[in-house]
Amino acid sequence: MAKKIKLDDWLKYLEDRVNVDLYVWGANDETVVNLLDRICNMETDKKDVDRILTLLKKRLLEGCDIFKIRCDDCSGLAVGFLLKMGVISSDMTADSFYNLITQKIRLGDVKAGDFLFMGNDIKKTHVGYAVSKYYAIESKNRDVGVVQTKISDRGWGYACRPNWYEDVEPDKPILKRELRLTDPYMRGDDIKDAQMLLNDKGYNCGSVDGIFGKKCDIATKNFQSDNGLKVDGIIGKNTAEKLGFIWEG
């Protein structure tokens, strides 16, 4: 079983990297001293190498200790720390982090410790790390390195909540009404929660759009059938709790 970490330790690690670390493609929290002779091999474009070295010069002029400057790409910022702490056992990309972390959440529900992603439904291409409801830390690009950014300014499209923080209880969404196929279709954030839970369990609802349509009805019935529940397509108390909701209807 993977080890758990303290959320405060993770957040402090991230905060210590802001305006210090450089973005280098393929790097996982590696010291710049050890990486200087490899940057040209890891970066295929000379212009990208020049951008990295320009930022390194800026960091040194600002007074950064060269032995404390580290190099990361977007996922490498997390990989180096999580490998050292025993949470993961191998290198990971933004896309593999998204697939590893099973609890998907709405962007409006993000809090410290959550992972944020850019990309599309097929592949996630960039990852950042929420340090509060409003701000994230990310290894952004070769011009600025690791920085803190406002979540609403960056165009994040997806969010996940890891289960490896030992001091944080996993959140469960609350459901206060029965969900079912109606005409017109039911809509709401609680339906987005249901769609995410069904999709995560392998019952395809399609896109998470907050609309209880025919795909959601079929997915609900398949879930009910596989779990010994009444097959009626209604997400009421029993189905909701089996899915992972807290029922308050």
Give residue limits of the domains in the chain. Answer: 7-160, 174-247
- 8 A C-beta contact, residue 90 and residue 176: no
Is there a shared CATH topology between the 7-160 domain and the 174-247 domain? Answer: no
Percent of the chain past pLDDT 70, that is, above it, reads: 93
Average pLDDT over the chain reads 91
Q: Count of residues for the chain?
A: 249
Percent of the chain past pLDDT 90, that is, above it, reads: 74
Question: According to the model, what pLDDT value does residue 174 have?
Answer: 87
Q: Domain 174-247, what fold?
A: Muramoyl-pentapeptide Carboxypeptidase; domain 1 (1.10.101)
User: Which three-class secondary structure state does DSSP give residue 130?
Assistant: strand
pLDDT of 102 strictly over 60 = yes
Q: Domain 7-160, what fold?
A: endopeptidase fold (from Nostoc punctiforme) (3.90.1720)
Q: At what angle do helices 7-17 and 76-84 cross, to 10 degrees?
A: 130
Residue 135: count other Cβ atoms within 10 Å of its Cβ.
15
What value does the mean pLDDT take over residues 69-97? 94
Question: According to the model, what pLDDT value does residue 1 have?
Answer: 46
DSSP labels, 62-127 = TT--TTT-EEE-TTHHHHHHHHHTTS-SS---HHHHHHH---EE-GGG--TT-EEEEE-SS-EEEE
| Confidence at 61, pLDDT banded by 50, 70, 90 | very high
Q: CA-CA distances (angstroms) from residue 143 to 32, 58, 85, 230?
A: 16, 10, 29, 57
